[in-house]
Amino acid sequence: MIRPMTGFRQITKMWGTRRIAALALVLAGVGGLTILAAIAWRALDQAPSREAAISLAGQLGAGGLTYLFVLTVIGVVLDRALAARAYNHRDLPARPEFYDYGTPELPQHMEELSGRALKSLTFTVFDTETTGLRPSQGDEIIAIAGVRVSGGTLRRDTTFEALVNPGFPVPKPSIRFHGITDHMLSDAPAIGAVLAEFHAFVGDSILVAHNAAFDMRFLKLKEQSSGVAFHQVVLDTLLFSVFLDRDAEAHTLDAIAQRLGITVEGRHTALGDALATAEFFLLMLDRLEARGVESLGQAIAISNEMTAVRKLQTQF
């Protein structure tokens, strides 16, 4: 037996909230006019004179038009509100956490960086927008952006941003997240060309991302076809958040930004999210230093520890 609320949710998912609202208003209009017509027919039939009937008909007609006008206004306002809600990024679910990219390790040619102070290093904080959340099942990157952090400072004038043509139409549900349409991607380059440019931008800097395994999985799957491999060290602000605020209920980008008082401009755009991540990454460096985590090697060590902790937490 299907519960009423479950059935309503299934219908809403299949038809869409805006269509259901429009149908409800149409039914309200038809029902209201039917009732008004029945009242009018009876009143006109009982009118004492022809003049009274004409006057009554005029009043009922005006009432019917007013009713339709009010329904139209309600329909327009409701439709705009539902459309705005559909693209309200605060109502969107967060990306799932990934742990299948391995733990951060120092490449052999970068081992000398292990003892370096974090604030003395150069980072590229990046983010991607994708056609969906399943990289192993055919979803593709459609936008990638990065911003440089060096010497403990956010370099807003040193950024990378590019759209990517995935080679197939962008699924409509994902457009709700990032607002990137097929028209915007029609002249965008393919992923191979974009990754080559992004790799050159990154250089020998250390990669930083929020929920980094999600983005790195997409990059990893493109190594063979693009010929571009990212062997840089990767740090994850989600893991730093678990270390610094282990008792916090959420470690999403939005939750961290709210906790640290950071305003996210351009949420769910690759560059906007990269800039927000870079801002709270810098704040995290101060807090890590206060907790005795000052070097890259120490940051990698706690990242590995927090990966294990987070895996355990997801079981409960």
When comparing pLDDT for 71 and 278, which is higher?
A: 278
Look at the block and give the residue holding tokens 């056609």: 131
Residue 109 pLDDT grade (very low, low, confident, very high; cuts 50, 70, 90): low
The pLDDT, as a whole number, for residue 218 is: 95
Compute the distance between CA of residue 223 and CA of residue 225 in angstroms, rounded to an integer: 6
Q: How close are the terminal C-alpha atoms of the chain, in Å?
A: 30
- Which ranges of the chain would DSSP assign to H, the alpha helix? 4-15, 17-45, 50-86, 172-178, 182-185, 191-202, 212-221, 223-226, 237-244, 253-259, 270-290, 296-313
Architecture of domain 108-313: 2-Layer Sandwich (3.30)
When comparing pLDDT for 27 and 244, which is higher?
A: 244
The pLDDT, as a whole number, for residue 209 is: 96
Characterise 182 by phi-psi region: left (phi > 0), alpha (psi -120 to 50), beta (else): alpha
When comparing pLDDT for 4 and 149, which is higher?
A: 149
Indicate which residues carry an active-site annotation: 268
When comparing pLDDT for 59 and 147, which is higher?
A: 147
The pLDDT, as a whole number, for residue 185 is: 97
Average of per-residue pLDDT across 147-176: 95
Average of per-residue pLDDT across 18-26: 73
**Domain-by-domain residue ranges, the chain?**
4-86, 108-313
Give the closest residue to 216 by CA, choosing from 203, 201, 200, 233: 233
Residue 61 pLDDT grade (very low, low, confident, very high; cuts 50, 70, 90): confident
**Each residue of 174-185: pLDDT tens digit?**
998 899 999 999
Residue 47 pLDDT grade (very low, low, confident, very high; cuts 50, 70, 90): low
